[in-house]
Structure formats: structure tokens, C-alpha cells
Homo-oligomer: A and B are copies of this chain.
């Protein structure tokens, strides 16, 4: 009921009478009043005016299951939210939930991670009260060889949400980092449990530097946050719900077309290295090339100095742009 009252308050421009809420939920005045008080205590500014009812004046940037679910406009992605004030890592939590049979689309969100994970066992800084740390559980029916494309679908979705909702010039560093003004603001960690020809589950973890004002000194050249770039505070719950909505639409399109052709053009338009010189760093060699964009299965197409084209698979090589980190 708390989620639904919050949703009604958010969506209504006018006051909502306590009586209407009582009738809608078939509960007592006291029950409604208790929920309103809980919300106030959590930091929501709710105005109560005699004979008119309740009206939400301001929503704080707090995270809770209700805060996130009340803004969710999806069919399956993030419909079921598991919220942690603090946890080890949301990827770990989703993996456990997956083993226990949790549904496709289940979303874990944490306000703080004690052992946030980056790729290949690296740490992901996860201080409390500032950023987004979330992981979604997927159970796609496809060959495991196609699953890496899901990471690009998520990168596209995060970039689109940041561009549409926050009106920032978010770009993608292939395959799946999001950058803003040439600095990283989002990392994505995809983990899969597969059999030889069958996916048990996929976990996509997303870490976004949202309201962080304290980027460690040694990372300042490479990483930033939305707040540092935009000089304004961002509602994390709203952004999470928007990303889920964008992702759900993209995922459904991906399952239909069975490749990335539906988003290839847009991905390449915001690909930070596109049409630029990149350095391809392999195990024994490195060389320069021009990045031409992704193909329909998500590999990076490059043009070498002798004019021939080649395809780069993720993990085979590192790709460096001509400026700094990106």
C-alpha cells in the first residue's frame, strides 16, 4: 500500500483526500495516516490541508523499495525490487536469488556495497547515499554465445536514459562503459551462469556515479559523476525506473530481431570513439586504426592503416582512444 500511495501522490497534480485513499485501499483513516507519516519521516515533504487532503511537495533522493517501485512503469524489468541499505554486492545477491529460482527481471538495488565488483574481480567503489548500484536478473532463451550482446543492450539503455531524462551528452565507450565529458560515469558487469548450450541466468550489474562529489584523487582524470558535471542533485529512484523502462523496450526488441541491428545506428552515433583513431592493444602487439562502429552482433569494426577492415571482439584487445582514458 505504501508503494501505491506514494505512486498516487507522485502522479497527482492536485490534492488527494484521505477519504479517497481510505476507500481506494479499503482501510481506516489511521492506516492511511500511518503511511503518510512514515513517508514524511523518510524525508518526503507531504503537505496535508484540511478538506483538501495530501499533496507531495518534494521528493528527497532516498532509496527504498517503495521509492523505486512507485515509479516503475515496466511490465517485467524491475517489477520486483529487492532493496538493500547495504550489501556485499548486488550481483552476488542476484546470483543467490537466481539459484533460489527468482523471476526474470528481478532487480536488486543497494544504497551501499561493501564489496562492489568491477570487471575481472576488480573493486567498484560504492559509498552510501550517493550512487546507483543495481543488478538485474535475466533468463533469456538463447545460445550463450549471444549473451555478451546483452551488455551492449544495457549500455545503450543507460546512455539513452541519461540523455533523455537528464539531458546530458552521455556517450558509450565500446563495449559497455558510459562516459560524460570524456570521463567514466557508469560501468557494467555482466556475469552469466551457462551450460554448454543453455543459459541458466544472466546478471547485469550497473554502477552509476550519480550524486558523488568525492572522486578519489587518482581517479579524477578518468571518472566523474552526474552531479560533478551537471552541478545539480539527481533523483536516483527516478533514474533507475527510467533505465528499466528503456532497457525493457530494448531487450524486447533484441529478443525479436535476435541481434543488435535495431539499435546499431543509434549506438554508433553516441560511440565516443566512432570515426576516430584508436589504438588496438593485443597480447603481443599494438597498432593504430580508425573505429568504424559496431556491427549487428556488437563487435567493433575497425579500418587499419592499409585500408583493410577488421573486427575486434571484446576481451581480445584493449581499445584506447587518442585522448587519455576514454
A residues contacting B by CB (< 8 A) are: 119-120, 143-145, 148, 151, 175-176, 189-198, 200, 313-316
Contacts and interface: CB of A to CB of B under 8 A. Distances in A.
A316 B198 CA distance: 10
B120 A198 contact: yes
B143 A196 contact: no
A314 B196 contact: yes
A195 B120 contact: yes
30 contacts: A119-B195, A119-B196, A119-B198, A120-B195, A120-B198, A143-B313, A143-B316, A144-B192, A145-B145, A148-B196, A148-B197, A151-B196, A175-B196, A176-B196, A189-B195, A190-B195, A190-B196, A191-B193, A191-B194, A191-B195, A191-B200, A192-B192, A192-B193, A192-B195, A193-B193, A194-B194, A196-B315, A197-B313, A197-B314, A198-B315
Contacts of A145: 145
Contacts of A191: 193-195, 200
Determine chain A's interface SS by DSSP, over half rule: mixed
A123 to B, nearest CB: 15
A197 B145 CA distance: 11
Contacts of A316: 143, 197
Contacts of A143: 313, 315-316
Given A119-B196, A193-B193, 11 more contacts: A119-B195, A120-B195, A144-B192, A148-B196, A148-B197, A175-B196, A190-B196, A191-B195, A192-B194, A197-B313, A197-B314
Contacts of A313: 143, 197
Nearest to A200: B191
A217 B278 CA distance: 64
A143 B316 CA distance: 8
A315 B195 CA distance: 10
Nearest to A194: B192
Contacts of A195: 119-120, 189-192
Contacts of A192: 144, 192-195
A191 B196 CA distance: 7
A196 B315 CA distance: 8
A316 B196 CA distance: 11
A186 to B, nearest CB: 15
A196 B197 CA distance: 16
A196 B200 CA distance: 15
The 4 lowest CB-CB distance pairs between A and B, nearest first, are A197-B315, A197-B314, A148-B196, A190-B196
A120 to B, nearest CB: 5
A151 B315 CA distance: 22
Nearest to A190: B196
Nearest to A121: B200
Nearest to A149: B196
A313 B145 CA distance: 11
Nearest to A148: B196
